[in-house]
Amino acid sequence: MEPLLQIDNLEITFGRGKDASRAVDGVSFCVWPGEVLGVVGESGSGKSVTALSVMGLLSRQGRVTGGKILFQGKDLLTMTPETLDTLRGVEIGMIFQDIMYSLNPVLTIGKQMTEGMRRHLRMDAAAASARAVELLTRTGIRDAAQVMKKYPHQLSGGMRQRVMIAMALACRPKLLIADEPTTALDVTIQMQIMQLLRGLQRETGMAILLITHDLGIVAELADRAVVMYAGQCVEEAPVHELLTDPAHAYTRALMQAVPGLHDSREKRLYSIPGRVPELYGDIRGCRFAERCAYAADCAYKNDAAMRQIAGKHYSRCDLRGEATLLG
């Protein structure tokens, strides 16, 4: 089977000359048709930039300096904008984190929803609007016909995110890129949106590339996960395996930093000491070493290449079965 999306040794650099810093450094992963791949990492790990580069959305300062992004075997990076426009919105959809400015404040929901369908699916106004109502209803919006006439400021955050999802699904994409889709929402709404995404994914069989910093969302939604740190992938595994038996020191640290419902209140929540190094391009060997609790007697410190440690489980170091060390 051919992967739907294959990111191969991707490098993204910000700035030029002396100021250049590499935000993504040799990231590789695949999204298979119909799977949900979670990409987890702290702010600054390069996960969002990776997602944006798939869509050709890097800001002016950032540019891809190496590697390939293949969608169904075709390299997105060498495509003309016109060819790219036949994929964006049709084969690949995207939803964003920010619910305040993800919809144009001066246009009605209906106008914003139907425009893409009319363009890409060559529908007439009536057909597009009928499909928009159907999609909105499917995302759990009651009175969809009424909502079509409203402006974004008249909707709640959860409603707006539902509209965004409906818009991204309008042309039945094979791949949905969701950049922190629930981060700006209340926990209860988060849950509903995740269930909605899960349901839609099962129904349509599309693949989802889920970018998040929240391991809970990955556990809920993803089939497989990639953990990113300082512009690199550090671990890749099926979600169940990743959560029950994490191999990389960073993944283990992340999991300890998730509060448990039954933790006693007196217990201080673990946090990883230090922060993501800013100029990580120059670090040799393991990039997590300076924050790592296991660094003292670590065999991987100087040779932290990605290696296969079990069937579909890859990691830069292997601490499976080690006792938990608090830093």
Name the residues that contact other proteins, by CB under 8 A. Answer: 55-57, 59-60, 84-90, 92-96, 98, 101-108, 112, 115-116, 119-120, 149-151, 154, 164, 167-168, 177
Residue 177, helix vs strand vs coil? strand
Nearest approach in angstroms of CB 145 to other proteins is: 12
How many angstroms separate the CA atoms of 49 and 174, rounded? 21
Instruction: Give whichever of 91 and 214 is closer to other proteins, judged by the CB atom.
Output: 91
Amino acid type, 5: L
Measured distance CA(69)–CA(246) in Å, rounded: 28
Q: Classify residue 234 by burial, with Cβ atoms within 10 Å: 0-12, 13-18, 19+.
A: buried
Q: Which is nearer to other proteins, 112 or 256 (CB)?
A: 112
Residue 117 near residue 105 (C-beta atoms within 8 A):
no
Question: Could you tell me if residue 12 is left (phi over 0), alpha (psi between -120 and 50 degrees) or otherwise beta?
Answer: beta
Closest CA to 93 of 239, 201, 219: 201
**Which is closer to other proteins, CB of 56 or CB of 216?**
56
Nearest residue (CB) to other proteins, 89 versus 231? 89
How many helices (H) and strands (E) in the chain?
10, 12
> What's the min distance (Å) between Cβ of 168 and other proteins?
8
* Other Cβ atoms within 10 Å of 29 Cβ, number: 21
Please identify, using beta-carbon distances, which residue of 117 and 289 lies nearer to other proteins.
117
CB of 101 to other proteins, least distance (A): 4
* CB closer to other proteins, 149 vs 172: 149
60 vs 262, beta carbon nearer other proteins? 60
Q: How near is the Cβ of 57 to other proteins at its closest, in Å?
A: 6
Residue 302 near residue 287, CB atoms below 8 Å? no
**CA pseudo-torsion sign 78, 81, 84, 89:** positive
Q: How long a stretch of residues is the chain? A: 327
> Shortest gap between Cβ of 56 and other proteins (angstroms)?
7
> Which of 119/301 has CB closer to other proteins?
119
187 near 17, Cβ under 8 Å?
no
Do residues 209 and 37 touch, judged by C-beta distance below 8 A?
yes
CB of 9 to other proteins, least distance (A): 24
